[in-house]
Amino acid sequence: MPTGSFAKTNVGWQIHQLSQRLGEWVELKLKTLAPKNIPLFDWLPNWSIAPWVPQAIFWSVLGLLLIWLGLQAVQLLSPGATWRRRSSTSSDPSPTAKELAVAAWLRKAQEFQRQGNYGEACRALYMAMLQRLHETKSVAHQSSRTDGEYLQLVQDLPQPAPYETLIATHEQLCFGNTLISAETFQQCQRAYGEIDAP
């Protein structure tokens, strides 16, 4: 008699056995709870399933999980993925906002002011303030920080009022429905002047 290798078990068979045991356990529990004289299971259909169904479900779920993990790995490992994700959700006027120096932000503020775009001019002053705080090591810049967190951090500085003005205007710009006027920009410009004064 030739001897060959054969599988003693496989995943599909184990899943089928588990579902069968679960069904038998449910049936046993229902029989013990039901009155003795009522035929409980005569009206139920045959719940047996084809042996390939559990295996197909298992491999489908496993395949979807592997595809999802692969996509997550590609996003994490691709160069610039984090930068693209941040820049697409950022409210900064340009994708290279974090790289600009204070002087560049101030030039942008003047350009926007000349164009009459006071909202973007105020935003540029706000970004100049953040960059200045970062460069002077007063408050390190982190893209995850909110205006409220910056507001708390600037309270420890000698003169928090000008910072509060710029932060409040930025909040109004991002979350309010009002247009930023030339007067508001002048207030922000004065506030930044107080910050920049020695």
Per-residue pLDDT of the chain (198 residues; tens, 9 = 90+): 455 556 667 777 788 888 888 888 887 777 776 656 555 555 555 667 777 787 888 889 999 999 999 888 888 776 654 444 444 444 444 434 445 688 888 898 899 989 988 888 888 888 888 888 888 778 777 777 788 888 888 888 888 888 888 888 888 888 777 788 888 888 888 888 888 776
Flag whether 24 is in a domain: yes
pTM of the model: 0.50
Q: Which phi and psi (to 5°) does residue 89 adopt?
A: -105, 0
- 104 with 19, same domain: the answer is no
Flag whether 5 is in a domain: no
- 101 with 61, same domain: the answer is no
Q: CB 169: neighbour CB atoms within 10 A?
A: 24
Flag whether 133 is in a domain: yes
| Residue of 44, 13, 12 lying closest to 27 (CA atoms) | 44
Query: What is the distance between the alpha carbons of residues 134 and 140, in angstroms, rounded to a whole number?
Result: 5
Query: Cβ neighbours of residue 106 under 8 Å, at least 6 residues apart?
Result: 124, 125, 128
- 122 with 192, same domain: the answer is yes
Task: List the structure tokens of 44.
Answer: 């139920």
Q: Please, where are the H alpha helices in 90-141?
A: 102-115, 118-135
Segments forming the whole domain that contains residue 56: 11-42+49-77
Q: Residue 180 is part of a domain; what is its CATH number?
A: 1.20.120
Task: List the structure tokens of 70.
Answer: 């692969």
Q: Which phi and psi (to 5°) does residue 167 adopt?
A: -65, -45
Query: What is the distance between the alpha carbons of residues 161 and 154, in angstroms, rounded to a whole number?
Result: 9
Q: Please, where are the H alpha helices in 78-116?
A: 81-89, 102-115
- Tell me which residue has tokens 């979807």: 64
* Number of domains within the chain: 2
- 107 with 142, same domain: the answer is yes
